[in-house]
Amino acid sequence: MNFAVVVLSCLMAAVAAAPQFTRPNLLDRPFVAILRDERQDLGDGAFSYVFEAANGIRESRVGYPGSKGQTNMQGSYRFPLDDGTFAEVRFIADEFGFLAESPLLPFLHPLPAHAVEQIRVAEEQRRRGIQF
């Protein structure tokens, strides 16, 4: 009997000591008005979409059927930054991949001359049929 009381007491202490989590109330967040929400779907992979909120968030994209059965897309989105400016990203997604452009994204630096030369030599060897 004493063992059961000790175990029960330990379990009650563990439950009482457990961290208490509260669920955030979504109504406490500031309200943002939706200024524009337009959607059009033509059913064949072609579509257009524009969304704009009062806080400056904006997204627009246009989709069209691709050559390999996919839907190609191009568009842009923007959102406010902490300093009051806006980040904007323009993108294209098609059979060649995804390409995004923005001043905030890092860019590739040019390859050093020795790397360009190595690539040229490898391409020449591949053209001659040399394999490693």
Compute the residue count for the chain: 132
For residue 1, pLDDT beyond 60: no
Q: What integer best gives the mean pLDDT of the chain? A: 86
Arithmetic mean of pLDDT, 18-41: 82
CA angle 120, 124, 130 (to 5 degrees): 130
Domain range list for the chain: 33-128
Pick from 21, 64, 18: nearest CA to 44: 64
Model pLDDT for residues 54-93, shown as the tens digit of each residue: 999 999 999 999 888 888 999 999 999 999 899 999 999 9
* Alpha-carbon torsion angle 120, 123, 128, 129, nearest 10: 150
**Spatial separation of the C-alpha atoms in residues 31 and 104, rounded to whole Å:** 28
Separation in Å, CA 74 to CA 43, 80, 108: 18, 21, 22
